[in-house]
Amino acid sequence: MNLLELVAVTLGVANIALLIRRSIWNYPFGIAMVLLYFEIFREARLYSDMVLQLFFVVVQAWGWWQWARAGGLSGPVAVERQGARERWLWPLGALLATLVWGTVMHRFTDAAAPWWDAAVAMFSIGAQILLARRKLENWVWWIGVNIIAIGLYWSRDLQLTAGLYALFLIMCIIGLREWREAEKAAA
């Protein structure tokens, strides 16, 4: 554990707590967190997760803009669901992306865990896009990502980050419940 990781963890907890409340102000905390995790994952040779942080900066800025357009500056954003077709195509796309990216990382880098790292990265991309689009299913994706990430980060001697993802897992279960309640209340 180092100070950089401790600060990133603190920002991450604030980010998810605000997400559960459907607050647009989750985004500044999330952006700061991912900028710190870029360096943390570089040092741990988790290159897929490192590159993922750059994607997160862009998609979080886009999500911030999307939520602002959806009324997020005046209160919690509305929750939506994916269509039936989307619920099948998104996971298939993430699985294919995992296989391709994992192959690239395995063949062309000294990545510590190319396949698991690729799975965390590709499914996180899908989850983050769903989150920016205010889709309830983002929480299901994040639950899966967190389960994989806990073991991956623990194996790379990032116990504090693994602990953060264990906390994220609990918070995602709460987030799923809260967003389902918000969806029911809006209906």
Question: Based on the structure, what is the number of domains in the chain?
Answer: 1
For the whole model, what pTM was predicted?
Answer: 0.88
Specify whether the CB–CB gap between 29 and 14 falls below 8 A: yes
What residues make up the domain containing 10? 3-73+88-186
**pLDDT tens, residue by residue, 97-131:** 999 999 999 999 998 899 999 999 999 999 999 99
Q: At what angle do helices 138-155 and 114-132 cross, to 10 degrees?
A: 150
Other CB atoms within a 10 A radius of the CB of residue 149 amount to 28
pLDDT in tens, 6-18: 999 999 999 999 9
**79 is a domain residue:** no
53-70: pLDDT as tens digits: 998 999 999 999 998 998
**For residue 78, is it within any domain?**
no
38 in any annotated domain? yes
